[in-house]
């Protein structure tokens, strides 16, 4: 693996670095956690992102993006993640970023025109509806209870989804449903493109959580006799699990990239405070106990970054990198949690004050060990692969 970055990526990194600090950080005071930025401010900063040439780094050039490979995205997504608003401003935030990736790979030309292109332009938002209440799919997606039944030239969906991020206000949802209950679990699931406002599709509520929900919140959805056309099947009948893996694998990695940026922000806040605050006759930064915590954090972030870059490199070379992305998801989620926890500790009462960013990052990072596969599930997958080797 070559650890050097092209001059193009280095230049983009510098532009994103400057853009986040000059244009995005000043907007943080205007954010509402469950809504994001007011529309006027979001529209304005996104227009500036286009002008600055940092818009949608994950998209191909022909769709207005930067046309980067996965390794290049590691650099830019980390820079974007320095602010909670960075990915939103650059149009590379979840769940839209993962949905754009999937639609670009699997959508028909007609579906791209109807769903992908408006999403790529930032004109609409989307959501991905997989998780269900008990006894439905959670960490085990083979337990999907939502059913899609063919009736004439339509498929009729019935089921309940929850913790569907961004559902309120989304223009459409990608919905996972069982189309062949007699098939093996990984062969009988299909993805459907369901438009908001379709009869039988209802966003019931936003579910309050300890984390900041972002635009559209984390929602519960009911599908009751919701009819969709054959051309709203994404990627083919029974291809749901294959497509979900194509979406979730890279999405795990991009989450890691963004969280590395957030951890770097936490480190900057804590180091600045450690240089200013005095206790027991000297600055906090001069106390060995504080220094060792910073050293441990730097080590873990360095290891995390190298793991992510390696997995990205394998993806760019045609490898599915399932083991590597699972390892990244476990290690990075737990490492950045420890890093942010140490930063809160350094800042003491100021670290837990709701008026500061560290408190918000501390809440949000806890969910990273759960979404896109809990750490326990990824450990199970990693171990199963190792133990089944011959």
- In a domain, residue 16? The reply is yes
226 and 246 inside one domain: no
Q: What share of the chain in percent tops pLDDT 90?
A: 93
pLDDT of residue 59: 96
Asked whether residue 390 carries a pLDDT value surpassing 70, the answer given is: no
> HSE on the CB side for 354, CA within 13 Å?
4
The answer on 382 and 339 residing in a single domain is yes
From 223, 210, 206, 222, select the one nearest 163 (Cα to Cα): 206
**Claim to verify: residue 266 and residue 376 sit in the same structural domain:** yes
Q: What is the DSSP letter of 59?
A: S
Domain of residue 167, residue span: 126-238
Give the model's pLDDT for residue 67.
94
Q: In terms of domains, do 138 and 88 share one?
A: no
> Is there a single domain that holds both residue 380 and residue 248?
yes
> Bigger pLDDT: 75 or 248?
75
Q: Do 226 and 245 belong together in one domain?
A: no
Task: Indicate whether 137 belongs to any domain.
Answer: yes
> Is 183 part of a structural domain of the chain?
yes
User: 116 in a domain, yes or no?
Assistant: no
Asked if residue 106 belongs to a domain, the reply is no
pLDDT digits (tens, 9 = 90+) for 59-71: 999 999 999 999 9
- Answer whether residue 250 shows pLDDT above 80: yes
What is the total count of domains within the chain? Answer: 3
Per-residue pLDDT, averaged over 97-126, amounts to 97
Q: Is the pLDDT of residue 221 over 60?
A: yes
| CA-to-CA dists, residue 162 to 2, 3, 45, angstroms | 42, 41, 31
For the residues 99-116, what does the mean pLDDT come to? 97
3 — pLDDT class (breaks 50, 70, 90): confident
pLDDT tens column, 11-50 = 999 999 999 999 999 999 999 877 789 999 999 999 999 9
Looking at residue 1, its pLDDT comes to 78
Over residues 276-304, the pLDDT tens digits come to: 999 999 999 999 999 999 999 999 999 99
For the chain, the maximum distance between any two Cα atoms, rounded to a whole number of angstroms, is: 80
Q: Do the domain assignments include residue 61? A: yes
Confirm whether 102 is domain-assigned: no
Task: State the SS3 of 240-300.
Answer: HHHHHHHHHHHHHHHHHHHHHHHHHHHHHHHHHHHHHCEECCEEHHHCHHHHHHHHHHHHH
Same domain, 135 and 179: yes
Residue 201 host element (H or E):
strand 201-206
Task: Tell me the backbone φ, ψ of residue 366, rounded to 5 degrees.
Answer: -60, -35
Query: The domain spanning residue 205 has which CATH number?
Result: 2.40.110.10
Which pLDDT belongs to residue 163?
96
At residue 348, the 3 state secondary structure works out as coil
Domain boundary among 185, 210, 238: 238
357 vs 28: CA distance, rounded Å: 9
Compare 185 and 131 and report the one with higher pLDDT.
131
- 68, 93, 118 - which closes a domain: 93
Q: How would residue 123 be classed by pLDDT, with cut points 50, 70 and 90?
A: very high
For residues 182 and 251, membership in a common domain is answered with no
Q: Per residue in 150-176, pLDDT tens? A: 999 999 999 999 999 999 999 999 999
Provide, for the chain, the percentages of residues in helix, strand and coil under a 3-state DSSP scheme, each rounded to the nearest 5: 55, 15, 30
């Amino acid at each position: 693996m070559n650890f050097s970055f092209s001059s193009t990526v280095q230049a983009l990194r510098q532009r994103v670095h400057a853009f986040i600090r000059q244009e995005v950080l000043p907007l943080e005071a205007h954010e509402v956690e469950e809504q994001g930025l007011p529309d006027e401010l979001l529209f304005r900063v996104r227009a500036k992102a286009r002008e600055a040439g940092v818009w949608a780094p994950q998209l191909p050039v022909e769709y207005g993006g930067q046309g980067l490979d996965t390794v290049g995205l590691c650099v830019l997504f980390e820079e974007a993640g320095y602010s909670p608003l960075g990915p939103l401003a650059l149009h590379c935030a979840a769940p839209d970023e993962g949905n754009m990736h999937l639609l670009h790979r699997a959508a028909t030309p007609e579906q791209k025109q109807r769903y992908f292109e408006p999403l790529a332009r930032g004109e609409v938002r989307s959501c991905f509806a997989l998780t269900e209440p008990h006894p439905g799919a959670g960490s085990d997606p083979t337990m999907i209870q939502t059913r899609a039944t063919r009736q004439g030239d339509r498929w009729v969906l019935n089921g309940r989804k929850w913790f569907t991020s961004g559902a309120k206000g989304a223009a459409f949802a990608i919905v996972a449903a069982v189309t062949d209950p007699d098939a093996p679990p990984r062969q009988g699931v299909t993805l459907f493109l369901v438009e908001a406002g379709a009869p039988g599709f209802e966003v019931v509520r936003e579910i309050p959580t300890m984390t900041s929900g972002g635009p559209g919140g984390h929602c519960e959805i009911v599908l009751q006799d919701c009819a969709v056309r054959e051309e709203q099947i994404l990627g083919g009948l029974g291809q749901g699990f294959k497509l979900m893996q194509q979406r979730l694998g890279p999405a795990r990695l991009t989450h890691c990239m963004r969280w590395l940026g957030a951890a770097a922000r936490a480190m900057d806040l804590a180091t600045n405070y450690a240089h200013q605050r005095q206790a027991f006759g000297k600055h906090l930064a001069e106390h060995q106990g504080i220094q060792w915590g910073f050293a441990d954090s730097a080590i873990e972030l360095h290891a995390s970054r190298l793991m992510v870059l390696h997995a990205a490199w394998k993806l760019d070379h045609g490898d599915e990198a399932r083991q590597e992305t699972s390892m990244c998801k476990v290690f990075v989620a737990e490492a950045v949690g420890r890093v942010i926890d140490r930063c809160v500790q350094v800042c003491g009462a100021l670290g837990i004050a709701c008026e500061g960013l560290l408190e918000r990052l501390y809440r949000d990072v806890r969910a990273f060990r759960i979404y896109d596969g809990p750490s326990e599930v990824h450990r199970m997958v990693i171990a199963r692969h190792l133990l089944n080797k011959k």
